[in-house]
Amino acid sequence: MCDQDHLADMDERGDKRTSAKGMNRREFAAMGAVATLIACTPMDDVDAAGGATEETVKFDAAGGRMDAFFAHPVEGKHPAVVVWPDIAGVRDAFMSMSRRLASEGYAVLVLNPYFQDKEAPQFEDFDDWRTQGGMEKVGPWRAKLTPEAVAETAKAVVAFLDKQDSVDTSKGVGVQGYCMGGPLAVWTAAAVPERVKAVATFHGGGLVGEDATSPSKMLGQTQASFLFAIARDDDKKAPGDKDALKAAAAAAGRPAEIKVYPADHGWTVVDSPVYDYDQDDASWARLLNLYKTAL
């Protein structure tokens, strides 16, 4: 997950992207497209063009009232997807991502991982987190995200989704996690194995360890198929993790696609200084394939 080394790299790249000259053509176009989509799709309203609706929802969870961003097609019932965002929390980048998934026919709930301390958004965007002491601010909040706490939250999240008219409870639930959200996605699958059938992690941190609650040790407690999308710089720091995940999935008898992408930690999040349009597109296609085959 994001650490001081990642932050130093992002600081350098972020400074280069303070103007359009710091972005390549596709990055600049992608940022513009997100801004346009956000501006044209107001909260608590219906997007007539895409046939999707969105709202901020709140429900009881272990430790307080969870707030989350919920986007889904206007009509019909659809497989549910839970999104655990990265360290900077719920913001426009992840709201846009949920709209994109809703347009593919999913009911998408983006969780505020810091709901016990502060409603989302805690930061305007990733640059706000990066430049305004975000690492220090979220430290005490993140400490509460223990495997046990996440498991209890996951049960409340799935219970909430299963009560929604837009959710098809005959279909499995998908969960995707980014950066620190990677382990949270696996813990969610282990907490509600009868419902969660697909898990995707993107540049997830802390997936391999020796503790009993390490995600790599908990795959056998799930009934999910997995996609582990690994950043090249994370792989360089821990080259054995991909092999450990492959071995863990095989031992657990769980289908798993494990791939190192030629992009750096944070490549899938459009407001990240290292966002990579082409590799985001490639990993997004694998995400859709996972959900199509597993849910």
Q: Are 146 and 182 in contact (CB under 8 A)?
A: no
Pairwise CA distance, residues 243 & 87, whole Å: 25
Residue positions counted in the chain: 295
> Which H or E run contains 247?
helix 241-252
Statement: residue 22 has pLDDT above 70: no
Please, what CATH class does the domain formed by 4-41+51-294 belong to?
alpha beta
Q: pLDDT tens digits for 82-109?
A: 999 999 999 999 999 999 999 999 999 9
pLDDT one-digit tens code per residue, 163-202: 999 999 999 999 999 999 999 999 999 999 999 999 999 9
Domain chopping of the chain, boundaries: 4-41+51-294
Say what the pLDDT of residue 157 is. 98
pTM equals 0.87
Within 10 Å of residue 123's Cβ, how many Cβ atoms?
21
